[in-house]
Chains A and B, each alone.
Chain A
Amino acid sequence: MAETPVKIQFRSTTYTVGSTVILDGISLEVHEGETVILLGESGCGKTTTLKMINRLIEPTDGEVLVEGKPTTEWDPIILRRRIGYVLQEAGLMPHFSVADNVGLVPKLQDWEKERRAARIIEMLELVGLPPARFADRFPHELSGGQSQRVGVARALAADPDIILLDEPFGALDAITRTRLQREFAELVRSLHKTAVFVTHDLHEAMLLGTRIALMEKGQIVLSTTPDEFVRSELPLAKQYMGTIAMR
C-alpha cells in the first residue's frame, strides 16, 4: 500500500473561523487507489476536511497538497474539474436533464458533442440507469436512490483520479443504501479511483474503506485499516463498534 504515490496530503492543516477552531492541525496522507473514510460525529470537521481537497475551503494555516502541489497554488477551476464530487442528496441541477447533469463537467471542459454523448451513456450504464429510460428525465422525476446514482455518474464523467463523497447515501432508505454501498464499493475498486468518503456510519466505513480516519473535535484521533479499527482500544472507536453490535 505504501508503495503507491501520495495523491492527497494534509500538512498540519488548520481552519479557524474567528476564534472557533474547526480543524486543529490535521495531517493525513491519501495514496493512489485508496478509499479513505472520514468518520465522525456532526461538527467534528470531516466535511470541512473534504472541502479543503477541492479548495471549496482554504486552510488558515498549514497546507493541503493535491498531487504534490498546494491547493492554493492550483487554479481552483482546473483543480475542481479534476476531482469528482458527490454531495449529500445528490445536488443535481434541477433544470438540467439527467444526461445534461452527467455531461456537465465534460461540457465545462469543452469535450466534443459525440464524445460527451457516448460518455453519458457509458456512465449511466455504469451506475445502473438504462440511458433510454433515464437520459431525458429531470431530477424531480427521480427517486432518491436514482438521484444519487446520477450524482455518482456526474462525479465520474470526466474520469477524475480523485473522487470526494460527502455522506452520499445518508438520506436514503436502508435497502437502497445497502445496495448502493455494495455497488459503489465494487465500482471504486474496479475503476481504481482514489476516494475520500465522509460518513458517520461505521458500517458504511467498514464496507467501503481501505482506511478509516476517525475524527473528533477537529482532529484525527485514529487512522487505520478497518481490521485494526475493530481491535482498537481507543474509547471513541469502541463506542463506534458498539453501534455496529447493536444492529
Chain B
Amino acid sequence: MSFFQFLQENWRELLGLTREHVVLVLISTGLAVAIGVPLGVLLTRTKSLRTPVLGFANVMQTVPSLALFGLLIPIPFIGGIGARTAIIALALYALLPVIRNTVTGILGLEPKIQEAAVAMGMTGWQRLRLVEIPLAMPVMLTGIRVAVVISVGVATVAAAVGAGGLGTYIFRGLRQNDNNLLLAGAIASAVLALLCDFAIGQVAKAYEIGARRSVGRKFFSFGFAAALILFALSSLVPGLRSTASETGIEKIVVGSKDFTESVILAEILAQILERDGIVVEREFELGGNIPHDSLISGQIDVYPEYTGTAYTAILKHPPLTDPQEVYKQTKTEYAAKFDLVVGPPLGFANDFAILVRGEVARENGLQTISDAVPLARNWQAGFGQDFMSRADGYPGFAKVYAFNFAKQPREMDLSLTYRALQSGELDIIAGNSTDGLISALDLFQLKDDRHYFPPYQAVFIARSTKLGVLNAAFQKLNNAISTEEMRNLNYEVDGNKRSPHEVAAEWVRSN
C-alpha cells in the first residue's frame, strides 16, 4: 500500500490521534506555564528557593520519559493510566524551560531599568506587570516554545500508558513493521512541532520592542492558538459519550500489552464480552509491566499475559521448564499475593523463538540452536531489552548453549530486530514463536534442543472481583486457540495490515 493510499484510508484516525496529541500538549504546557511562570517570578524574589526548585525541575527533565510514566502509575489521584498521567508527566518535563526562562528573563533585565521602575514609585505588582513581564517576555516565550516542542516529542511516548496521541501510530508501526504507520505518526508530530514552534515564534516577535506596528502578527498568533484550542475541544464532544456509559451498568476494562498478539487477544475477549451484552472499555497497548500495575491499582480489570512472564518477571522466580508446574504455581501465588485470578490456558504458547534468516538455515542445514553455535562466532546478535535483562533471557541462554559471540549482542527494540535480521544487519535474534512475521519475512525458528526456555502459555489475568462477569468468556476461550492459529491471526495484522478489531471479529464469528 502506498503512503498516499494509506493516508486516504486512515486520515480520520490520523486526525483523531493528532487531536489527542494536541490535547495532551496543550493541557500539559498550559499547566506548566500556569505553575512555572508564577514559580519563576517567586524565584526572582526569593533567592534561597532558586537552587532547590531549579534543581528539582532539572532532575525531572533527566528522568527518561517512559520511566517517569511508569513511576507515576501507582500514585493515587495524579497517576494511573491514560491521559491524566501523561499530562502530569509532560507538564513536569515542560516545567524546567518555563521556570528557568522566567527567572533568567527577569533577572537578566538591566539593573538600571529595575531601579528606574522602583524609583518611579511602582509597586511590586506594577513592576512585574508593566516592566518585568513585558521585557522578559521574549525570553519567557522562548522557554515556552522549547517546552511545547519537547512536549510534542515526548507526548509520542504517552501512547505507552494508553494516553493515545500520535505515538499510537509510531508504536504500532514499529511493532507491525509498517512504514506507513511510522511515517504518518512521525511526520504528523514533526509538522505539529514545527507549526507550534513557528506560531510561538510569531508571538515572540509581537513582543519585540517597537512591535506595535505589527498588529497583524498578534492577530495571526492568537488566531492560531484559538484554532488549536477549538481543534482540541472538538474531541471532547464525542468524548462525552464514552464517559456517559460509565454509570451504573457492569463494565469491564480490558487492557493489553503493547504488541499485536496481546491486542488481538484482548480484542477477542472484549468482543466476546460485548456479544454477551457487557459494556467494555479498552485500555490497549500499555507498555512494559504497566498492565500488571494497572490491574493491581484497579485501572483495568483483565489483560492477556504469559505464564512464563508472570512466573519469572513478576513473581521473580528462576525459570522453570515444566508448563503445568509453572501454570499451577503462578495461579496459586497470584491468588495469594495479588488477589488476582489466572484464567484457563488459551491453548497456545508464545515462547522465545531463536530466529535466523531462512536462506541461512537452508544453506547450512540448520535445525536446532546447537547447530548454529559453531557458525555464530562471527554473527551479530541483536535482542530486545526484555530478553537481555530477564532471568530466562540472554545470560543463561548463552551459557547453556555455550554461545561465544565475537561481537557484543546489540540491545534494541524487539520489533526492530526483525527488520534488522531481514536486512542482514543482524544474524540471530530472539523473537516470539507466534509472531506472524516469522513466515512473512522468511525467517527460520531454531529448535530449543536443550529445553532452555520456560513455557509461555497464554492466559488471561483478571481481578478476582470481576471473575463472575468474566468466567463465561474464560470458559469459551479455554484451549481455543492453537499456536498455528495465533500465528495466522498475528500475520493478518502484521503482514496483511488489517486492524486487530477486524481480525478478532472474524475469529469470534467463526468460533
Give A contacts to B, CB under 8 Å. Answer: 54, 56, 76-81, 85, 87-89, 91-95, 97, 104-105, 108, 138, 140-141, 154
List residues of chain A with CB within 8 A of the CB of B134.
95
Chain B 111-166 residues near chain A, CB threshold 8 A: 112-113, 115-123, 126, 130-131, 134-135
Is B238 interfacial (CB-CB < 8 Å)? no
B439 to chain A, nearest CB (A): 68
Cross-chain contact A77 with B121 (CB below 8 angstroms)? yes
Query: Which one of B115, B123, B135, B210 lies within 8 Å of A91 (CB-CB)?
Result: B115
A-B contact pairs, 17 of them (CB 8 A): A56-B119, A80-B118, A80-B121, A85-B116, A87-B116, A88-B112, A91-B112, A91-B113, A91-B116, A92-B116, A93-B113, A93-B116, A93-B130, A93-B131, A95-B134, A95-B135, A105-B120
Cross-chain contact A81 with B121 (CB below 8 angstroms)? yes
Query: Which one of A88, A108, A141 lies within 8 Å of B120 (CB-CB)?
Result: A108
For the complex, what is the distance from the CA of A104 to the CA of B117, rounded to whole Å? 10
Cross-chain contact B113 with A89 (CB below 8 angstroms)? no
Cross-chain contact A138 with B112 (CB below 8 angstroms)? no
Query: Which one of B115, B119, B135 lies within 8 Å of A94 (CB-CB)?
Result: B135
Q: In the complex, which residue of chain A has the Cβ closest to the Cβ of B112?
A: A91
List residues of chain B with CB within 8 A of the CB of A85.
116, 119-120
Given A56-B115, A89-B112, residue A138 in contact with residue B122 (CB < 8 A): no
List residues of chain B with CB within 8 A of the CB of A140.
209-210
Given A138-B209, A138-B210, residue A108 in contact with residue B121 (CB < 8 A): yes
List residues of chain A with CB within 8 A of the CB of B119.
54, 56, 80, 85, 87
For the complex, what is the distance from the CA of A56 to the CA of B116, rounded to whole Å? 10
For the complex, what is the distance from the CA of A87 to the CA of B131, rounded to whole Å? 17
List residues of chain A with CB within 8 A of the CB of B210.
138, 140-141
Contact with A along B79-120 (1 / 0, CB 8 A): 000000000000000000000000000000000110111111
B124 to chain A, nearest CB (A): 9
List residues of chain B with CB within 8 A of the CB of A108.
120-122, 126
List residues of chain B with CB within 8 A of the CB of A54.
119
For the complex, what is the distance from the CA of A78 to the CA of B120, rounded to whole Å? 10
Chain B 166-216 residues near chain A, CB threshold 8 A: 209-210, 212
User: What 10 pairs across the A-B complex have the smallest Cβ distances?
Assistant: A81-B121, A80-B121, A91-B116, A85-B119, A91-B112, A138-B210, A95-B209, A77-B121, A95-B134, A94-B209
B188 to chain A, nearest CB (A): 38
Q: In the complex, which residue of chain A has the Cβ closest to the Cβ of B210?
A: A138
Looking at chain B, what size class is its interface with the partner chain?
Answer: 10 to 19
Contact with A along B220-263 (1 / 0, CB 8 A): 00000000000000000000000000000000000000000000
Query: Which one of A56, A89, A154 lies within 8 Å of B118 (CB-CB)?
Result: A56
List residues of chain B with CB within 8 A of the CB of A138.
209-210
For the complex, what is the distance from the CA of A180 to the CA of B316, rounded to whole Å? 85
For the complex, what is the distance from the CA of A92 to the CA of B126, rounded to whole Å? 16
Cross-chain contact B113 with A94 (CB below 8 angstroms)? yes
B43 to chain A, nearest CB (A): 23
A-B contacts counted at CB < 8 A amount to 55
Q: Which of B118, B120, B130 has the most CB of A within 10 A?
A: B120
Cross-chain contact A87 with B112 (CB below 8 angstroms)? yes
Question: Main secondary structure on chain B at its contact with chain A?
Answer: helix
For the complex, what is the distance from the CA of A161 to the CA of B75, rounded to whole Å? 63
B429 to chain A, nearest CB (A): 61
List residues of chain B with CB within 8 A of the CB of A89.
112
B114 to chain A, nearest CB (A): 9
List residues of chain A with CB within 8 A of the CB of B120.
80-81, 85, 104-105, 108, 154
Q: Which of B112, B113, B116, B134 has the most CB of A within 10 A?
A: B116
For the complex, what is the distance from the CA of A141 to the CA of B213, rounded to whole Å? 15
List residues of chain A with CB within 8 A of the CB of B130.
93
B477 to chain A, nearest CB (A): 69
For the complex, what is the distance from the CA of A43 to the CA of B135, rounded to whole Å? 31
Q: In the complex, which residue of chain B has the Cβ closest to the Cβ of A80?
A: B121
Q: In the complex, which residue of chain B has the Cβ closest to the Cβ of A109?
A: B121
Additional A-B contact list (5), CB under 8 Å, known A91-B113, A93-B116, A138-B209: A77-B122, A80-B118, A89-B112, A93-B113, A105-B120
A8 to chain B, nearest CB (A): 16
Q: In the complex, which residue of chain A has the Cβ closest to the Cβ of B117?
A: A93
A161 to chain B, nearest CB (A): 14
For the complex, what is the distance from the CA of A89 to the CA of B110, rounded to whole Å? 12
For the complex, what is the distance from the CA of A81 to the CA of B122, rounded to whole Å? 8
Q: In the complex, which residue of chain A has the Cβ closest to the Cβ of B126?
A: A108
For the complex, what is the distance from the CA of A116 to the CA of B131, rounded to whole Å? 20
For the complex, what is the distance from the CA of A18 to the CA of B125, rounded to whole Å? 30
Given A87-B115, A95-B135, residue A77 in contact with residue B209 (CB < 8 A): no
List residues of chain A with CB within 8 A of the CB of B123.
77
Cross-chain contact B121 with A105 (CB below 8 angstroms)? yes
B85 to chain A, nearest CB (A): 41
List residues of chain A with CB within 8 A of the CB of B126.
108
List residues of chain B with CB within 8 A of the CB of A91.
112-113, 115-116
Cross-chain contact B135 with A78 (CB below 8 angstroms)? no
For the complex, what is the distance from the CA of A154 to the CA of B117, rounded to whole Å? 12
List residues of chain B with CB within 8 A of the CB of A94.
113, 135, 209
List residues of chain B with CB within 8 A of the CB of A76.
121
Q: In the complex, which residue of chain A has the Cβ closest to the Cβ of B109?
A: A94
B281 to chain A, nearest CB (A): 52
For the complex, what is the distance from the CA of A218 to the CA of B448, rounded to whole Å? 92
For the complex, what is the distance from the CA of A140 to the CA of B210, rounded to whole Å? 9
For the complex, what is the distance from the CA of A218 to the CA of B120, rounded to whole Å? 26
A247 to chain B, nearest CB (A): 30
For the complex, what is the distance from the CA of A201 to the CA of B152, rounded to whole Å? 60
A143 to chain B, nearest CB (A): 16
Q: In the complex, which residue of chain A has the Cβ closest to the Cβ of B123?
A: A77
Contact with A along B344-387 (1 / 0, CB 8 A): 00000000000000000000000000000000000000000000
List residues of chain B with CB within 8 A of the CB of A93.
113, 116-117, 130-131
List residues of chain B with CB within 8 A of the CB of A92.
116
For the complex, what is the distance from the CA of A94 to the CA of B110, rounded to whole Å? 10
For the complex, what is the distance from the CA of A77 to the CA of B125, rounded to whole Å? 12
